[in-house]
Structure 1
């Protein structure tokens, strides 16, 4: 293992001088995240098998008795799903433990102390995020998720090599700095560094930040943790074995990869992570013209207002720097949930919480990118784009697929 920072320093590297425990609203979000991982085991049992047992026993007795016997053995399968939930919960518990240590919080807080009492703060939405975060390990950190990663991460890495290949693994003065907004569980950041570039990931979700910190900094080897990614889902199954399939994570151990890269022709690049609202942090004067490249993967459609994202990318890119994008346009705020529809005369970026939202077509995205100071140099034609899933069981009877857009834009030098 490489020498890694202890947890408090690691958290400070996420958020600069900002202390989330000192801010009431930020502390509430962090506490709810921690509590959602604590509640994973209980809520998964409650919402998955407990309610299904109740519904099963509500069938006519002759019917449930028949289905309880082989070859159906429905009740036995509920028990196996419970076992799978407990296996998954070990990962949730590990993420929680490292998160608590990072922030210096007790596992059993004083209920009378609001500055440390994180128990019972998560709502159902927070818990759902913890569930989906665990499933995301299938995509980013299992061998079985490689095909999804290849469809989305490989084009980015190839574009970086095409543009900067001669500088991969260069000295600190000549290092290529790549920003990865929406870094999620950190796999793309890791792969960019493994290719010899310096990568800074940015993520606003504490669920993703805590989980990525665990897998990058606290796992002890490859394939050390078992995950049942699809155990909680009962529809579109060919067999119970399919439902209870396992993957081993991480497929590649980050620490070992870093050590093995030392002294190689392409040493592992500098890696960092920031925890902040993307548009606010990277519109800051301190980040002006800092990065050689920005790589957005399944990210731009998280924007309520894409103009804010483009402004931030333009601001933090060096003149002549490139913006690589791969992803769909599944606009996250299309339903208008939790958005204010009142007008705003403010020109100051208020981040993801800014009122208003708009959905654009790909053609309109291209027009907007070019109007705002970029020249699109590469576009992958629709018929050339590979189909890919997102945390998708390839054996499912229902296989939703994306055909993600892939393009490269260069920031114009004379703006």
Structure 2
């Protein structure tokens, strides 16, 4: 195994595209702005609303056992704890992704033209990314990971066994890799695992946790603190979790002592643009899609790209619901009149045209496009960043299946 096993250490080439630079800077700035906006939206506005109440009502609410103002102080403390992780992601990104400039004291800072430019939608994504650490990088998230990553790992293990112990390591592509936990786990299992992610919020966060975090349990996150709704108790809202549950560098060193590991990499790109390239034809033994296929406005183009990049006889392993992400949305190009989009954008995920299918229609399409479905299971209870103590419970009934590309 090579010494360098980092999944996403930063940019390989200087980025000159103005739109991509804007997206990257806004993503970084959103982590910088997390604390300020969270304090304003979650506690400052509630304090203002509290002091607008009649004095007699305030007296009841601020006294035990409710102690509403004390609760807001605890929520502020929880936001500050989340912000430690957000600031670490931001600070590291300035160097790793070559975003920072030298300040007078020699440290890196955000260039003035980008400082404070993140939009509300960017900051919402940062908040969501921090919550996602519960799923991918906490001990308590292991149950969710087993439900969604377990079937993928078992299918890949079965494919390894089918090919025999003397074969080369499996090359596995994970589109929509998110915070990188599945990619890292597959690397530990001896696969050459490559993640692909288009979101810079996810890329900045995964780069930090995989490469720069100092120890297991370095941070405590409060994933439920951003909402005051559907809590049985205030203790539930203020529950915290240590992240990461493992230190990736230490875990890699420990695993190397007992078994052969794979290699690990990450691409930052539009899945369709990257994996329809000629150099990626017939390259991967496995494509593993977890909660990914429903991000397609045009599923046929996803399946075409997967067919293109899979080796003959390779397998597509899928698990997830069908929450079609673009349902009801006007395609972006309709709003971009007068803008000149790159060729990649016009042939990538933003290409005109979209449709949504039912699960049985998806399976029919998979077979129509040349795959052989070799296993299928439906109705799998699959939570996503699930608060088991919440008064509001939602659960996906996911579909899991494996399909093979023909050998000829």
TM-score by length of 2: 0.91
Partner of 2:255: 261
* Other structure's SS at 2:173 match: strand
Taking a change above 3 Å as real, the CA distance of residues 329 and 381 of structure 1, as seen in their structure-2 partners, is: closer
Which residue, 117, 129, 132 being the options, matches 1:136? 132
Q: Is the 8 A contact 1:225 1:250 kept in 2?
A: yes
Matched, 1:373 2:376: no
**Correspondence list, 1:302-317, <5 A:** 302-317=295-310
**Correspondence list, 1:211-290, <5 A:** 211-264=205-258, 266-290=259-283
Partner of 1:147: 143
* Other structure's SS at 2:315 match: strand
**Distance in 2 between the 1:65 and 1:151 partners?**
47
**Distance in 2 between the 1:116 and 1:285 partners?**
40
Give 1:254 deviation, angstroms: 1.1
* Other structure's SS at 1:295 match: strand
Q: Is the 8 A contact 1:109 1:117 kept in 2?
A: no
* Other structure's SS at 1:77 match: helix
**Distance in 1 between the 2:271 and 2:98 partners?**
26
Partner of 2:339: none
- 1:109-141 CA-to-partner distances (Å, cap 9, x unmatched) read 79xxx9773202210000000000000000000
**Distance in 2 between the 1:338 and 1:223 partners?**
42
Give 1:12 deviation, angstroms: 3.5
- 1:78-98 CA-to-partner distances (Å, cap 9, x unmatched) read 010001101100100000011
**Correspondence list, 1:39-58, <5 A:** 39-58=33-52
**Correspondence list, 1:79-98, <5 A:** 79-98=73-92
Which residue, 179, 183, 188 being the options, matches 2:182? 188
Partner of 1:322: 315
Which residue, 65, 68, 74 being the options, matches 1:74? 68
Q: Is the 8 A contact 2:135 2:141 kept in 1?
A: yes
Q: Which runs of 5+ in 1 are unaligned?
A: none
CA-based RMSD of the aligned residues comes to 2.5
**Distance in 2 between the 1:347 and 1:258 partners?**
36
- 1:303-353 CA-to-partner distances (Å, cap 9, x unmatched) read 1111111111000000010000000000001121554569xxx99961122
TM-score by length of 1: 0.90
Taking a change above 3 Å as real, the CA distance of residues 106 and 61 of structure 1, as seen in their structure-2 partners, is: same
Matched, 1:351 2:344: no
Matched, 1:124 2:120: yes
Count of aligned positions = 396
Q: Which runs of 5+ in 2 are unaligned?
A: 105-109, 336-342
**Correspondence list, 1:288-299, <5 A:** 288-299=281-292
Partner of 1:12: 11
**Distance in 1 between the 2:404 and 2:331 partners?**
34
Taking a change above 3 Å as real, the CA distance of residues 314 and 278 of structure 1, as seen in their structure-2 partners, is: same
Taking a change above 3 Å as real, the CA distance of residues 60 and 102 of structure 1, as seen in their structure-2 partners, is: same
**Distance in 1 between the 2:6 and 2:162 partners?**
34
Taking a change above 3 Å as real, the CA distance of residues 353 and 35 of structure 1, as seen in their structure-2 partners, is: same
Which residue, 191, 198, 214 being the options, matches 1:197? 191
Q: Is the 8 A contact 2:89 2:208 kept in 1?
A: yes
Partner of 1:61: 55
Taking a change above 3 Å as real, the CA distance of residues 304 and 186 of structure 1, as seen in their structure-2 partners, is: same
**Distance in 2 between the 1:169 and 1:77 partners?**
57
Partner of 2:28: 34
Taking a change above 3 Å as real, the CA distance of residues 226 and 336 of structure 1, as seen in their structure-2 partners, is: same
